[in-house]
Structure 1
Amino acid sequence: MNKKSKTKTPKKDSQLVLRLDKAERDEFVALCKKLDTSAAREIRQFMREFVKKND
């Protein structure tokens, strides 16, 4: 299978800026790294589930 035949995910074209407590942010990022994921991926997943649940 070549790269062109794979299903593409929509390009991310927007940002959400958050002000966080540094210690809380660092703990979250470290836990995501430990779980082999990214903070952005987990936040996007949370947002999708939140919208689905509350829409």
Structure 2
Amino acid sequence: MARNEGKGSAKKNSQLVLRLDRDERDSFVELCKELDTSAAREIRRFIRGFMKEHAED
């Protein structure tokens, strides 16, 4: 299989910068580690779900 084939093959080439309380961020990152996931993965999952939920039919 080629390097860019399969799940997650779309190159991520954009960033979203947000500000939040340091303690909240640290707690979120720690919880993600405990759940064997990453903060970025969970934020992407939230964004995709939010967009799907609010998509115009």
TM-score (norm 2): 0.85
The offset of 1:53, in angstroms, is 0.3
State the TM-score, normalized to the length of structure 1.
0.88
Summarize the alignment of residues 1-55 of structure 1 with structure 2, pairs less than 5 Å apart.
3-4=1-2, 6-7=5-6, 9-55=9-55
**Which segments of structure 1 move beyond 4 Å, counting only runs of 4 or more?**
none
Q: How many residues align?
A: 53
Unmatched runs of 5 consecutive residues or more in structure 1: none
Which gives a bigger RCO, structure 1 or 2 (Cα 8 Å, sep 6+)? 1
**Seq. identity, %:** 62
Q: Could you list the runs of 5+ residues in structure 2 that have no partner in the other structure?
A: none
